[in-house]
Structure 1
């Protein structure tokens, strides 16, 4: 079975827009997902990227247009300027890693989607502990217990490894998919990724 590396940050609207489609594609084509939440701020520092607030006004404005356009095209609810953004993604990323370590890949994928939907469609603060506990509880997990395991050394080590591996693989955005050594940046490249899955 082939494996697709899936680098993403849980505060990325593009990861939110692509997440469910990516998971469905992998299941359709029998591709295993290697889930790798990473620290996008460190990736930006290494690759010359800029956080949103530091980008030129025209780039910020066009980003809003594209988000609205993709939201309408995909039929996915999305607030292009949510109440709790910018937001630190670290606690959410570590919770997703903790979920994978303790409950497996499918649970972690579902939690990632719930967290991203919470930020981009439900006006939730994904840096807030109670919000993260609620997202986990909604999936019938023990959110409080899971949150306790999120700051552990093993979770932090995996978060760091993901970030270092992504940087070494020339990742510079979210979401980022790597299949058979070939990179695909962004949810708008999922058609190309599926072609690669079929070709394999």
Structure 2
């Protein structure tokens, strides 16, 4: 994972993703397949954290909407990841409403934590987990923390982009992700050597 909670892989493929999306908007089906390949793993991980075994079905519905509305998208590769996560989240919440399972409301103090440090021990520990174990641990977090961690660590969104997906202030999302990662660290028996951060500018 890269500094500030964004996996390095997303930083490296965002240029390729942006170019693929631009070509896909011009009707290049192969380019759309490239965009799908780059985005789908993180998107599916996010949805597994929200709806469990229904993730693949929800992702399929989301991609139908993404393909339909692709011409309306404006932005770069990072923006496309945020846009697709927003669509996927809406489809997941639709499913949860149909199942009469409502997300818990987020209860956060506003920007009360210090968010410093370059060494994120919690994220380093989190990297070593299998996907299944990681998602199982995230599922035990309060929903606001779990979604923030999924968007920051699994999808690889920065703070402002994750905040747009969730309809919250960036500081609230940073706080929720910070708390979630700290809680995961405790579950894993990891102790932080110093203050932690997901990046103040993110």
TM-score, normalised to structure 2's length? 0.31
Name the structure where helix makes up a greater proportion of residues: 2
Larger relative contact order (Cα-Cα within 8 Å, sequence gap ≥ 6): 1
Bigger fraction of residues in strand: 1
TM-score, normalised by the number of residues in structure 1: 0.31
